[in-house]
Amino acid sequence: MDIKKYVLDKALEAKEGARQIAKASSKQKNEALLGMAEALQKRAKELISENKKDIQYAEGKGLSKALIDRLRLTDKRINEMAQGLIEVSALPDPAGEIIKMWKRPNGMTVGRMRVPIGLIGIIYESRPNVTADAASLCLKAGNAVILRGGSEAIHSNKAIVKVLRDVIKKNGLHQGAVTFIDMPDREAIMEMLRLEGIVDLIIPRGGEALIRAVTENSRIPVLKHYKGICHIFIDRDADLKMAEEICFNAKVQRPGTCNAMETMLVDKKIAKAFLPSMIQRFKKAGVALKGCPLTRKIDSSLEAVQEEDFYKEYLDLILNTKIVEDIDDAMAHIAKYGSAHSDAIVTNDYAKAMRFLKEVDSSAVFVNASTRLNDGFQFGLGAEIGISTDKIHARGPMGIEELTCTKFIVLGNGQLRE
């Protein structure tokens, strides 16, 4: 099969879908989303039976239990997927919203109107729920989506997409609005990345290797998430009890996430008061602690932290502890070793809180709150298509507004360029 032609044909169908879905009313889009939720639940058996093929293949290949669990569809998970679609249908429609209008001296009124981006390519690894999630968010904002999921979930993904497309058709919309690249070859991804002028945006979701490969090969703009090396600085003016709760939450509540803490920076003035009980609590929770020389003077049982540890995203119950001189020392550490993802200060000092907010250049900066809160739902965006560590278009959690752009609109009565 000619991969190039296959991908191009799919993309051209999707592009036509994009033109049509951009014109759909909020009512049409919401009815389709609710119809999809209903159909996913009604056709759960079909989905689970297709999913079994993926599970069998994965077991045969000897994939890890954790990966197989992520792959598995159950009635409960299908209901959650459907619930997600219902929630997206209830969000306000960003497309067509006029976010600003102003008058010019020549009498014309200029404004900015939110419009769909167009055709969005999502390249993701093996969780099948991403298929329904991503499709629903793109569709709500008036975009078409071209999906390329991981090969391990191919049967599940195809079954989900079939359900979604059946509903789209039944609702009189263009099926190209949700298009799936049914091709396990890596070359199919490379072909997608060359569709400049057809695909408007690529969002890769998965491990760092996938994201680097996409970024290096794409001629299309990419919104991506590399890694989260997150810090909490406990200032000398912190409420130490609050600091302990925040640090514990940021490390232990779900250590496998991008916004969990990697390095705890402790002001030397309160290190002796703060660290002993904090360390005990972490140890009890099974956290492996690595300490700087000064930390190890307080607790010599800690393993010594190496400089390269400060660059690691652990995604596990491991934590670096470093005693710093002051806020400047802490911010210098964050600037050097951090990944500009999620960083927090715990302090009751107003001036230091404001400096940290302003000077730390991360996608989310927290005063007296856990870095784990860096999330679209927690921030009230209603939904999340991913977190961006880029500095262009979107930074931090991306909701449906981030799946739109704005165009200028001008209301005139004969204005000319002088």
Closer CB to a copy of itself, residue 119 or residue 160? 119
Torsion 110-113-398-176 (CA) sign? negative
Contact between 24 and 173 under an 8 Å Cβ cutoff? The reply is yes
Based on the shown chain and the rule CB under 8 A, indicate whether residue 374 belongs to the binding site for a copy of itself: yes
Q: Which stretch binds a copy of itself (CB under 8 A): 60-68, 215-223, 280-288, 291-299?
A: 215-223
Based on the shown chain and the rule CB under 8 A, indicate whether residue 100 belongs to the binding site for a copy of itself: no
Which amino acid does the sequence have at 241? K
The one-character DSSP state at 196 is B
Which amino acid does the sequence have at 49? S
Based on the shown chain and the rule CB under 8 A, indicate whether residue 416 belongs to the binding site for a copy of itself: yes
Q: Which stretch binds a copy of itself (CB under 8 A): 124-132, 183-191, 294-302, 394-402?
A: 394-402
| C-alpha closest to that of 404 among 21, 10, 36 | 21
At residue 257, the 3 state secondary structure works out as coil
Q: Give the Cα separation of 7 and 269 in Å (integer).
A: 61
Based on the shown chain and the rule CB under 8 A, indicate whether residue 221 belongs to the binding site for a copy of itself: yes
Q: Give the Cα separation of 259 and 342 in Å (integer).
A: 6
| # chain residues binding a copy of itself, by CB under 8 A | 70
Binder of a copy of itself out of 219, 268, 272, 297 (CB under 8 A): 219
Sheet of strand 318-324, all strands in order from the earlier edge strand to the far edge: 303-304, 288-291, 318-324, 261-267, 230-234, 342-346
Closer CB to a copy of itself, residue 65 or residue 102? 102
Q: Which stretch binds a copy of itself (CB under 8 A): 3-11, 43-51, 72-80, 367-375?
A: 367-375
Sketch the per residue contact string, 49 through 78, with a copy of itself: x for CB under 8 A, - otherwise: ------------------------------
| C-alpha closest to that of 225 among 119, 400, 375 | 375
Sketch the per residue contact string, 238 through 267, with a copy of itself: x for CB under 8 A, - otherwise: -x--x--xx--x---xx-------------
The helix (H) or strand (E) run that includes residue 233 is strand 230-234
Based on the shown chain and the rule CB under 8 A, indicate whether residue 209 belongs to the binding site for a copy of itself: no
Q: What are phi and psi of 187, to 5 degrees?
A: -60, -25
List of residues contacting a copy of itself (CB under 8 A): 19, 22-23, 96, 102, 104, 108, 110, 113, 115, 117-118, 196, 200-201, 215-216, 219, 221-223, 239, 242, 245-246, 249, 253-254, 335, 353, 357-359, 361-370, 372-375, 378-380, 390-393, 395-397, 405-417
